[in-house]
Amino acid sequence: MNLSFSQPPRLEWTTGDLSGGPLLRKSTCIQDLTGIFSDERARQLLAGERIVYEVEMLNTSPAEGELYTGITHLYPGRVGHEYFMTRGHFHAHREQGEVYFGLRGAGLLLLQNEQGEVRLEKVFTGSVHVIAGYTAHRLINTGDEVLSALAVWPTLAGHDYHALAKGFNVRVFEENQQPLARTVQNG
Ligand code: PA5
Ligand code: NI
């Protein structure tokens, strides 16, 4: 029997460019991020249409038991002194985990559990981040280049952006050209 060889999608590891498959794309701009950064006035002074991050996903089956694959490209920049970052979320199905892989750039992965305890992992080319269930996650770009990361997560997971709408318990600011993590009170 002759079986033909199918062509899977391709990821360019050095840039995070996905090709060869049906893709979904979403851009998140400054104007979409009301209340996310600590200095809301500084956010309002930036151009609303400036893109903070883009997510490119393989358009695969959403059926239970399947996995999603997506790339986040988080641009360098700051709102006031606070580095550009993703909105961040818990999974709607809290027990579901996720894996992130650093592709390019330099940053941090902010992890916060349901008890409010925070960890920060360095993100760099080749870094592997196993995000356990019950753990909210947010990418932060502390570098001067685009931070690109690959993520794989269960279709079942879903996103809960509401639970941390008041913010994570740690924010990362640039001080003296260095990233500095500060604990904040979110009530
Ligand atoms: O599944 C993930 O955790 C990522 O693909 C994120 O959704 C992506 O980084 C964008 O972040 P957020 O969903 O918090 O806006
Ligand atoms: Ni997630």
Question: pLDDT tens-digit profile of 142-174?
Answer: 999 999 999 999 999 999 999 998 899 999 999
Cα angle value 71/76/81 (rounded, 5°):
130
Question: pLDDT tens-digit profile of 53-84?
Answer: 999 999 999 999 999 999 999 999 999 999 99
Residue owning the nearest CA to atom 8 of ligand 1? 72
Task: Give the atom of ligand 1 at the shortest distance from the alpha carbon of 149.
Answer: 9
**For residue 187, pLDDT beyond 80:** no
pLDDT at res. 1: 79
Q: Give the ligand whose atoms come closest to the C-alpha of residue 55.
A: 1
Helix (H) or strand (E) holding 45: helix 40-45
Task: Give the atom of ligand 1 at the shortest distance from the alpha carbon of 153.
Answer: 1
* Predicted TM-score (pTM) of this structure: 0.96
Distance 160 CA to ligand 2 centre (A): 9
Give the start-end residues of each E strand in the chain. Answer: 10-12, 17-19, 23-29, 51-58, 67-74, 78-79, 82-83, 98-104, 107-113, 118-123, 128-131, 135-141, 147-154, 170-175, 178-183
* Residue to mutate (ligand 1; options 98, 159, 164, 168; most atoms within 8 A of CB): 159
Task: Give the atom of ligand 1 at the shortest distance from the alpha carbon of 68.
Answer: 1
Residue owning the nearest CA to atom 15 of ligand 1? 87
pLDDT at res. 36: 97
